[in-house]
Amino acid sequence: MKTILPSFLDGLGRVGRAPAILAGVLLLTLLVALPPAIVVQGLLADSLGDSLAADAAADGVNQEWWTEFSSKATGLGVAFSPQIIGFGGVLDNLSRMLDDQGYVAAVTMVASGYLLLWTFLLGGILDRYARNRPTRPHAFFSACGVFFFRFLRLGVFAVIAYAVLFGPVHAWLFDRFYPWATGDWSVERNAFFLRLALYAVFGALLVAVNVVFDYAKIRAVVEDRRSALGALMAAVRFVRRHPGPVAGLYALNGALFLLILALYALAAPGARGGWFVWLGFLVTELYLLARLAVKLTFYASETSVFQRLLAHAQYTASPLPAWPESPAAEAIAPPSSPPGGLPGS
């Protein structure tokens, strides 16, 4: 705990001291969501027009119209379903992930584009959190450009790992083992708890893969690693040698994430008209901001615990002075140290 809590608090501090990053990823998220929202708004306008159904929908939910719209919807319109109202959207996404249910092609394309933009920015984000001091825009985007292609190579291994999890592993757990184990059961409650246990096993595997790839990205940035496979194997070694701090820190971050979800579940807007629409919009945007802050805290705190447990001036060499500023994280040294780092680095 002497490493876990300080790293978690340090991660919160690093995110708080870099508000431009949080504001930037929030703006990015809104900009990516804007074109699909305009498309869906156009589909709704074409369907409702000036009909009486439009007045009923403005006051709340017109279930009859919504059922008809969903039966004829294509593309992004398929995503506009009753499940997206309030906290239902969170539960729907969780259910789709655990049950390996895909999204429509249009939604998948938008999500893939958003993930690609995140991959580009992540190098600069991790570099900023590793330095733990303000960096100039050209240094930030220099790091983004340098690590983007390295993260793309790392992403190939990630795609393989997640394909195995959501492919044969998921199929064996839920399509083979679960029907075999519950075939002769007569108590539905026992089958329900077994399925929950299988969800827990599958979720633990997802977390393990996610943690390894998080630390692979961190090691790639902090140590300026060029080899994606080398960064991945180094991350596996780090997680294997420090399971307690790694698991404890992830649990703390996970608890913060669950707290945000619980607060959103209490305040999530329903399908109501009038000024409740604007209140719901405000609550949703605050939830989005909190979600992004938690995501950044995951990265910042994991960077902090890595630097506390492994990285030091002798371990991570100081980069040679160059313009633009090298994206490799500088040696961990007191602010008063000379530019070259500690003696002997």
User: Looking at residue 285, what is its pLDDT?
Assistant: 84
- Please state, in angstroms and as integers, the Cα–Cα distance from residue 241 to each residue in 204, 230, 247, following that order: 19, 17, 12
Q: For the residues of 17-32, what is the DSSP string, one character each?
A: T-HHHHHHHHHHHHHH
Q: What is the pLDDT of residue 185?
A: 81
Query: What was the pLDDT predicted at 332?
Result: 44
Distance, CA of 16 to chain centre: 18
Number of domains in the chain: 1
DSSP 280: H
Tens digits of residue pLDDT in 130-187: 998 888 889 899 999 999 999 999 999 999 999 999 899 999 998 899 899 888 887 7
d(CA 283, CA 302): 29
DSSP result, 123-167: HHHHHHHHHTS---HHHHHHHHHHHHHHHHHHHHHHHHHHHHIII
In a domain, 333, yes or no: no
Question: b/e string for 149-169 if b means 16 or more Cβ within 10 A?
Answer: ebbeebbebbeebeeebeeeb
- Would you say residue 337 lies in a domain? no
Residues in the chain: 345
What is the extent of the structural domain holding 21?
Answer: 4-309
Residue 344 lies in a domain: no
Residue 317 lies in a domain: no
Per-residue pLDDT of the chain (345 residues; tens, 9 = 90+): 688 999 999 999 999 999 999 999 999 988 988 877 777 667 666 666 555 555 555 555 556 656 666 666 666 666 665 555 554 555 556 565 556 565 666 677 888 888 999 999 999 999 999 998 888 889 899 999 999 999 999 999 999 999 999 899 999 998 899 899 888 887 788 888 998 999 999 999 999 999 999 999 999 999 889 999 999 999 999 999 999 999 999 999 999 999 998 888 887 665 555 555 567 678 888 888 999 999 999 999 999 999 988 865 334 433 444 444 554 444 444 444 444 444 333
Q: Is 325 within the bounds of a domain?
A: no
Query: Please, what is the average pLDDT of the chain?
Result: 79
Helices (H) and strands (E) in the chain, counts: 13, 0
Using a pLDDT cut of 90, give the percent of the chain over it.
Answer: 44
